[in-house]
Amino acid sequence: MHFADDLIARVRALGHPLCVGLDPHLARIPPLFRRGSMAPGDPQTADAVEAFLGAVVDRLEGRVAVVKPQIAFFEQLGWRGLAALERIVARCQERGLLVLLDAKRGDIGSTAQGYADAYLSEGAPLKVDALTLNAYLGLDTLEPFAATGAGLFVLVRTSNPGAGDLQDLKTPEGPIYLRMARNLRPLSDRLVGKTGWSNLGVVVGATWPEQAIAVREALPQALFLVPGFGAQGGSAAGAVRGFVPGPVGLEGGVVNSSRGVLFPAGAATDDAAAWGKAIDGALNESIDLLGQAVAR
Amino acid sequence: MHFADDLIARVRALGHPLCVGLDPHLARIPPLFRRGSMAPGDPQTADAVEAFLGAVVDRLEGRVAVVKPQIAFFEQLGWRGLAALERIVARCQERGLLVLLDAKRGDIGSTAQGYADAYLSEGAPLKVDALTLNAYLGLDTLEPFAATGAGLFVLVRTSNPGAGDLQDLKTPEGPIYLRMARNLRPLSDRLVGKTGWSNLGVVVGATWPEQAIAVREALPQALFLVPGFGAQGGSAAGAVRGFVPGPVGLEGGVVNSSRGVLFPAGAATDDAAAWGKAIDGALNESIDLLGQAVAR
């Protein structure tokens, strides 16, 4: 199965491009799931994270196309965190959710192959459907990942305050983030599927919609992973500015919300029913906002 | 203890800047240490990696200042690989070796904090002395790492064939890699220790010595991590082109060799004595070459 074709078919069927970010901030995990000291080095902390995200994932089945675990929050728990992530990914897959691992890896030659073998190759211990990548080291570093047939999302223009330090530096042919986007065009073209969308996608922050338009022009067939919706301040309309008309609405990527769905008002409780209600409410709100933004 | 001060004191005492890269390429691990199928998903593979690198580390005690495990080779083994890496790092520390983890992490805000907590903060499950970082996302992404007081090595100009795709793009004020180096100057200045060297270091490939000189000019107090010596084709003289005169010779960073020390001719054996002799020979050769290159 071609990742981009699969993802876009699911997004069309659901009518919204929401991706739920699985970022288990330890301090925010609700009392319902907390165990032990919740310190990163406490073995029980990984169990708490697993219980919390498992309960979240159970509520996402049939509602969203894809989830995005942020691997840093698992790495901070040591090997137990990675073992918990393996089980959470398995649970997502049992629930029919695509998994886009946010790892922002980038390295050369045999090391890039190591990362591809860790997360994308057949037989990988923690096999996911797609991975975020950093291409500062050059286009050759993307090849081992491209060879796996999985989905790739390369950082182009991010949503943090310092994003412009490097990404906005001007060259005679445009800013660096656009040069990065244009550099990716041949690989994007190579990985296009039947829907016209490519397995080579890009990360473009929701806080800079005008830049999304420029990146879309440079990469007409690349799916966008748009972080920064909700908690980071981006609007739904802004988040889909790089999208284009498709058969059932605007399409061309997914929009991530992490904290907005995982830690809404009312979810800091030890009451299971109240917690479920808070999560469902936040999920419905994000789905509605993004569904309206892509509706024609 | 200030990382850069500690590292440079050890390098001065040893008389050479060799850093040994711990990159356990599965296909190259000698028969002496191989177990089971050696497939990434086989639980015995992590045991083989641990046995192999443990034996290497035992031979490095008192000979080198620092080792550089490449985390991708452990991640490809899943959580068992990370558990093995925790034990290998502990063994390095027992042997008095500094550990520079090559992870090339880079992410925003709370995610960057997660990576810092994973590898550098007090209580980190896999605490090391220094970490490689990718700053494509901006200078703000370095702050959580800088706050730990550990050593940081930010990618500036790498040694792979495609390194120039982004790093060499020209701006009116110089190529991107130099803009990156100049961006880092204030942070480098903030983290200077008693020896005059900063905890903010940079990665500068050995295959491009003239670029090392330009980066040194931009960052006079940053330690260089120079990959690409030996197997990747860089000469010892080229590797230290960014170094400057110090009290006992040229200094200003460390030069990494991975394959040249780990997998020399004669080491593909199941004879423990022959293997040890091959490793010691390769180690001595690298030490001699680099020792001569920095001698005045």
Nearest in space to A128 (alpha carbons), one of A118, A137, A113, A138: A118
Q: Judge: A83–B79 Cβ closer than 8 Å, yes or no.
A: yes
Name the A residues in 72-91 with CB < 8 Å from any B CB: 72-73, 75-83, 86
Nearest by CB to B138, from A70, A109, A162: name it: A162
Give CATH for domain A3-294. 3.20.20.70
Rounded to whole angstroms, the Cα distance separating A40 from A45 reads 6
SS3 A7: helix
Query: Tokens 């469902």 belong to which residue?
Result: A280
CA distance B291 to chain A (A): 27
The model's pLDDT over A144-193, given as tens digits with 9 standing for 90+, comes to: 999 999 999 999 999 899 999 999 999 999 999 999 999 999 999 999 99
Strand partners, A22: A69
Span B45-98, pLDDT tens digits: 999 999 999 999 999 999 999 999 999 999 999 999 999 999 999 999 999 999
Distance CA A99, CA A110 (A): 24
Q: Are B264 and B41 in contact (CB under 8 A)?
A: no
- For chain A, percent of residues with pLDDT exceeding 70: 99
Query: No. of H helices and E strands in chain A?
Result: 13, 12
Please choose, from the candidates B52, B49, B9, B59, the residue with its C-alpha nearest in 3D space to the C-alpha of residue B284: B59
Cβ-based burial of A154 (10 A; exposed 0-12, middle 13-18, buried ≥19): buried
For residue B176, the chain A residues in CB contact (below 8 A) are 166, 169, 176
Q: Please report residues of A whose CB lies closer than 8 A to that of B175.
A: none
Paired sense of beta strands A198-204 and A151-157, if any: parallel
Q: Is the full-model pTM beyond 0.90?
A: yes
Domain extent listing, chain B: 3-294
Better-predicted residue by pLDDT, B160 or A130: A130
- CB of B115 less than 8 A from some CB of A: yes
- Euclidean distance between CA atoms A68 and A132, whole angstroms: 10
CB atoms within 10 A of CB B156: 30
Reduced to 3 states (helix: H, G, I; strand: E, B; else coil), residue B148 is: coil
Give the sign of the dihedral formed by CA B118, CA B119, CA B125, CA B126: positive
Of A80, A140, A155, the CB nearest to B136: A155
Does the distance separating the beta carbons of A105 and B39 come in below 8 Å? Answer: no
Q: Is the ipTM of this complex over 0.85?
A: yes
Confirm if A77 and A22 have CB atoms less than 8 A apart: no
